[in-house]
Structure formats: structure tokens, C-alpha cells
Amino acid sequence: MIQQLLFCPVLFSFLYQFSFVNKINFNYFTLRSTCDHCHQNIKLYDMIPIFSFIMLKGTSRCCKKKLSYCYVLGEILAILPAFYFYFIPPFNHFENPTFLLIYLFLLVFALFDITTYTIPLHMLAVLLFTSIYITHLNIFPFIIVTIILHTLFLINRKSIGYGDILLLSLLSLILPFNLFKLTFLLTFLLGGVFALFTLFVTRNLKYKLPFIPFIFIAYNIAFFIYQYTGGYFI
């Protein structure tokens, strides 16, 4: 549990800032972390997850500008898998590395989507290549789901972004199919209810909602159901 508490927030911070990188090369991995605003190198003691944000009162030490709250929110949420591993019985139907991989990437995608209403395509590629090495791929469900989702996207492109289609297709490849089905259903249920509530409050038909946060929430709910039912809920 201690390892996850230390490792997950650090890994999230790396993945989140990596999602904003436009030009990727091998030199990137040798560079120091820099301020989002003035791009000065950040001291090591200012990169401690959660605590540095609190000690600096949400501002950068170098230029005193406010830091994005997505960092501290993501770092706090990133420690939750440590409690999953500790309190939930052994993962008989879903291995810890696979759960952790998908959890952290969905968390990064969700916060990125809230900020930009887009999804970093290079991070989808990273998730795909990483998944190939640590999890079982479900080729047949992936083909069927991808065809259906792309057909729906071509019919009505305004309802959902293409990045969301790609992410859902990728999840159908790396998640057990029963878990993907429940995640998919819960995503649209949660998103639909929240969209109706937002429409009722704002009366604005053009109000944009980020979609991936609902995938992230649905995945966590579906995961608990999947674990406690042995994967046979559908």
C-alpha cells in the first residue's frame, strides 16, 4: 500500500504534464520539470505531490502565478488505487497492473478533457502500446465495438467527439468484455442524467460537457461491481 501511495501521484503528475507535450522526442525524457508559466526549472522539493501544492498555496515559487488545480486534484485521486488494493479482496478477475494502468490514464484523460474539451491522441497511443505488454487483448469485441461506435459517429457527429470514440474503442480492446459493457452503459447513464440536469439549470442547448469524466466515474463503479460479482453481472 505504501508503494502505491508514493508511486501513483508521481506517475499521474508525469502523465498529466506529458499529455500537454506537443512535440515528442527522446530528449524530452532527459529534461527537468519546468513551470507552466515562466518555464523555469522546478526545484525537487517543489515537486512533492499534494504537499508542495499546499505549501506553495497553489502558486509557483518562481513567478507566483496560480497553478492548475487539476494537478492537486489528480494527485489526490491517484492515491485511491492504494486503498482499492488494501481493502478489496485479491483481484481474481482483474489484475492490479491493468486496473492501475487504466485508472491513471482515464484520470489524466478526464482532467485534460475538463480543461481543453479534447483528448491527447499521443497518450492514447501510449496507453495502447503499454496495454499490449501487460494485459490480455480482446480482439473480436474490439472489432465489433469499433465498427458500431464509428457508425454511430458518422450518423451523428455532433453528439460525441471522435477522441471519445477512439477511447471507448480502445477500452473495448483492453477491458474484459463484461466490465466494458457495464462501464459503457454507466457512462451514458451518468452522462445523460447530468446533461439533462445541466439543461434544466442553464436552459442552454449548446452547453458543452466533457465526456471522459463520466467514463472515469463509470469505470470505477463498474470495477467494484465486477469484482464483487465475479465478473458475471451481465
Do 109 and 215 share a domain, yes or no?
yes
Q: What is the pLDDT of residue 49?
A: 73
55 and 104 share a domain? no
| Per-residue pLDDT tens over the stretch 159-175 | 788 999 999 999 999 99
> What are the tens digits of pLDDT across the range 63-85?
777 878 888 899 889 988 877 76
User: What is the pTM (predicted TM-score) of this model?
Assistant: 0.88
Average pLDDT, the chain: 83
Query: Are 232 and 141 found together in one domain?
Result: yes
Q: Write down which residue in 57, 87, 117 finishes a domain.
A: 87
Burial of 115 (C-beta count, 10 Å sphere; 0-12/13-18/19+): middle
74 shares its domain with 97 = no
pLDDT tens for residues 186-234? 999 999 898 888 878 877 767 678 999 999 999 999 988 887 776 555 5
Residues 123, 10 share a domain: no
- Domain end, chosen from 68, 87, 106, is at 87
Coil/strand/helix, residue 229? coil
Do residues 42 and 28 both lie within one domain? yes
Query: Where a domain ends, among 46, 62, 87?
Result: 87
Where does residue 102 rank: exposed (0-12), middle (13-18), buried (19+ CB within 10 A)?
Answer: buried
Co-location of 69 and 151 in the same domain: no
191 and 168 together in one domain: yes
- Kindly state whether residues 108 and 3 are assigned to the same domain: no
16 and 132 share a domain?
A: no
Task: Find out whether 56 and 50 touch, Cβ atoms under 8 Å.
Answer: no
Same domain, 82 and 132: no
Give yes or no for a contact between 124 and 166, defined as CB atoms under 8 angstroms apart: yes
Q: Are 131 and 101 in contact (CB under 8 A)?
A: yes
**Averaged pLDDT for residues 3-8:** 73
Flag whether pLDDT at 101 surpasses 70: yes
State how many domains the chain has: 2
Q: Are 75 and 9 in contact (CB under 8 A)?
A: yes
48 or 99: whose pLDDT is higher? Answer: 99
